[in-house]
Every structure is written in C-alpha cells, then in structure tokens.
Amino acid sequence: MGALEVGLPERVPAAGLPSRVEIWEVGPRDGLQNEDTVVPVEVKLEFLDRLAGAGLTTLEATSFVHPKWVPQLADAEQLLAGLDRHEGVRYPVLVPNERGLNRALDAGVNHIAVFASATETFAKRNLNTTLDEQFAMFEPVVTRARAEGLEVRGYLSMCFGDPWEGVVPAAQVVRVGKWLLDTGCSQLSLGDTIGVATTGQVTNLIGSFVAAGVGTESLAVHFHDTYGQALANTEAALRSGVSTVDSSAGGLGGCPYAESATGNLATEDLVWLLEGLGIEHGVDLAKLVETSVWMAGRLGRPSPSRVVNALAG
C-alpha cells in the first residue's frame, strides 16, 4: 500500500534541512488557555496522556500564572498532581515570576519557561510590567530555577508584529532575546503571537540572531496561523537551521491578552510537512488525529487543522 493510503505523504527528502525536528507541543497550555470555558482537569490529563501516547516528547502542560489572569489554567497544581508522566517525556510549564516559580517547585516541576515581550505594549498587557521591568521580574526566576537544577526556556512574544505597535524592529527583538539567553535560558522561542509574519521576516530575524552570535541550536519558532503563514514560516525557519518547532494538536490556541491571535500551527499540519520532507519527528499521525478529534468533541467545535479534517473525514 502506498503512503497516501495509510494517511501519510510520500517522503521526498530535500537538501539544507535538519534531519530531525523536536516538536514542542503547546496545545495543553497555549491551546487551552484561550478556551472560553474551563476544561475539566480530568480531560486535560487525558489529553496529555493521549499526546504522549502519540509519540510527542515535549508537552507544555500548564502555567503557574495568576489564576485571575488565566482562569483556564487555575488548576495547575491539581493537574501536576494527577499527571501520569510517560518515560522520556518532558512536561515544561510557564512561570512568570517568583511566586509562580515557588508554586512550580512545590509541584515537582523540573522544566519551566519564562515568557518575555519584545514590545512595550504587550509587556504591559500580558505581564503588567514595562519592557525593562520584565527583566527585573524574570532575572531572579531564571537564576533560582537554574540553581535548583531546572531547565529554563525563554519565550519571546510579538517578534514580528504587534497589534498596537505595528512592525517590531529586529534589533529590539534581538536585544530582549539575547538578554534571556545571557541570563540563563537554554532555548529561546521566537513567537509570532498574532500570526502576521511572512517568510522573509523569519529568515531575516533568525539571521539577525546569528549575526549577534546566537546559534540556531538555541532557537525555536512559535507560529500562530492567523494569516495562514505558519507552515511556510516553519519551512523558512528550518531552512535557516532551526530544528525545534512549537505547535498545538489540532491547531488549538491563541493568547487571551492579544485578541488578534488565533490558533497555533497545528501539530498535524507540521507532521505532514516534516514527514513529506523526510525529517524525523517521532509522531504517530493517526493517533494524534484521533486525539484532536476526541478533544474537538470535548470542546464542542471542530479542529481548524486542515490535516485533521482531511484524515478524519
């Protein structure tokens, strides 16, 4: 039977691409933080379990943010307590400040992500700080987390465009991003929070980081699909040497503090691309589609992912 009949594209490897991509699954966090209703913790736990069962090895589980700011993830402690950790799977969580770090440490977390803003307006709206005040908030978090032996990722939002400030200058993005890496983050995820980036911008921004001395092995990309560019932008990032890509199962997602943000790049769409390019990804696409169809049933609306709809149909 040919690849298409079993729900996979033909593999046609291309030059100049990584041989393996690490998929950083953000559905349980970036996806569910944006739902109108609060998903019961049992459903979240089953979602995480199914995602691990589909072969994903990095599952961003939840956030230790202020529960009033993101009520959808107010059950972070309960979730971590009930988590059935799969062998070889990492479960990072978002942490904004020292209060969040204390909560994460109490919950036995060993991998966190801080999340900075490349713009002044989004720093205010998402973190209630100025652009520079966010450094004072994150510095003790990163330093203490590292001292406690935790792995720390740094997110950077609004790297390409900001709904209030327009196009974001690459130099401004590189300044904040370099600070995160210099302070102790082992990886920097470049976020197109509102999904407006195009491929030239992606190539240029990654080039700007490389010119500033940042190796592409320290970079990840995080695309939202508002303008349908997420997959094209991902390929541009792969061609620039990036090999960690954030995505969410079924294309769930958005950001409660950036209204123009829609879902993340769907993991299924990403897997289809990677599979077709002969890039190793470790995911069982059929199981993942089944999971997204199940989750769509829990949420009461269909997945926006093209691949989910094509394969589930």
Rank residues 101 and 311 by Cβ distance to ligand HMG and give the closer one.
Answer: 101
- DSSP codes joined into one string, 45-95: HHHHHHHHHTT--EE--EE-S-TTT-GGGTTHHHHHHH--PPTT-B--EE-
Binding partner at 115 among Mg ion, ligand HMG, none, C-beta below 5 to 8 Å by kind: ligand HMG
Contacts 24+ apart (CB under 8 A), 10-17: 10/276, 11/275, 11/276, 11/277, 11/278, 12/276, 12/277, 12/278, 13/277, 13/278, 13/279, 14/277, 14/278, 16/239, 17/238, 17/239, 17/277, 17/279
- Look at residue 157 and give its three-state secondary structure: strand
Closest approach of ligand HMG to the CB of residue 138, in Å: 10
Stretch touching Mg ion by CB under 5 A, among 26-34, 79-87, 120-128, 170-178: 26-34
Rank residues 18 and 254 by Cβ distance to Mg ion and give the closer one.
Answer: 254
Size of residue set near Mg ion by CB under 5 A: 1
Rank residues 115 and 272 by Cβ distance to ligand HMG and give the closer one.
Answer: 115
- Look at residue 261 and give its three-state secondary structure: coil
Closest approach of ligand HMG to the CB of residue 1, in Å: 39
Binding partner at 155 among ligand HMG, Mg ion, none, C-beta below 5 to 8 Å by kind: ligand HMG
Strands 62-63 and 151-157: unpaired
Closest approach of Mg ion to the CB of residue 189, in Å: 9
Binding partner at 292 among Mg ion, ligand HMG, none, C-beta below 5 to 8 Å by kind: none
Rank residues 216 and 262 by Cβ distance to Mg ion and give the closer one.
Answer: 262
Rank residues 29 and 50 by Cβ distance to ligand HMG and give the closer one.
Answer: 29
Q: Residue 73: which of 264, 250, 225, 256 has the closest Cα?
A: 256
Quote the CA–CA distance of 96 and 54 in Å, as a whole number.
Answer: 29
Binding partner at 168 among ligand HMG, Mg ion, none, C-beta below 5 to 8 Å by kind: none
Quote the CA–CA distance of 313 and 307 in Å, as a whole number.
Answer: 10
Query: How many other β-carbons are positioned within 10 Å of the β-carbon of residue 94?
Result: 25
Closest approach of ligand HMG to the CB of residue 260, in Å: 12
Angle 111-289-253 from CA coordinates, rounded to 5°? 50
> Which positions touch ligand HMG (CB under 6 A)?
30, 33, 63-66, 69-70, 94, 96-97, 99-100, 103, 115, 126-128, 155, 157, 191, 193, 222, 224, 255, 257
List 104, 202, 255, 273, catalytic entry: 255
Spatial contact of 262 and 253, defined as CB atoms under 8 Å apart: yes
Q: Which burial class, exposed, middle or buried, applies to 227 when counting CB atoms under 10 A from its CB (0-12, 13-18, 19+)?
A: middle
Phi, psi of 198 (to 5 degrees): -125, 170
Rank residues 63 and 311 by Cβ distance to Mg ion and give the closer one.
Answer: 63
Closest approach of Mg ion to the CB of residue 33, in Å: 9
- Confirm or reject binding of residue 30 to Mg ion (CB under 5 A): yes
Binding partner at 270 among ligand HMG, Mg ion, none, C-beta below 5 to 8 Å by kind: none
- Counting every residue written for the chain, the total comes to 313
Closest approach of Mg ion to the CB of residue 76, in Å: 17
255 in active site: yes
Strands 161-162 and 166-167: antiparallel
Spatial contact of 24 and 246, defined as CB atoms under 8 Å apart: yes
Please give the residue whose beta carbon sits closest to ligand HMG in the complex.
Answer: 191
Binding partner at 52 among Mg ion, ligand HMG, none, C-beta below 5 to 8 Å by kind: none
Please give the residue whose beta carbon sits closest to Mg ion in the complex.
Answer: 30
Catalytic (active-site) positions: 255
| Contacts with Mg ion, residue ranges (CB under 5 A) | 30
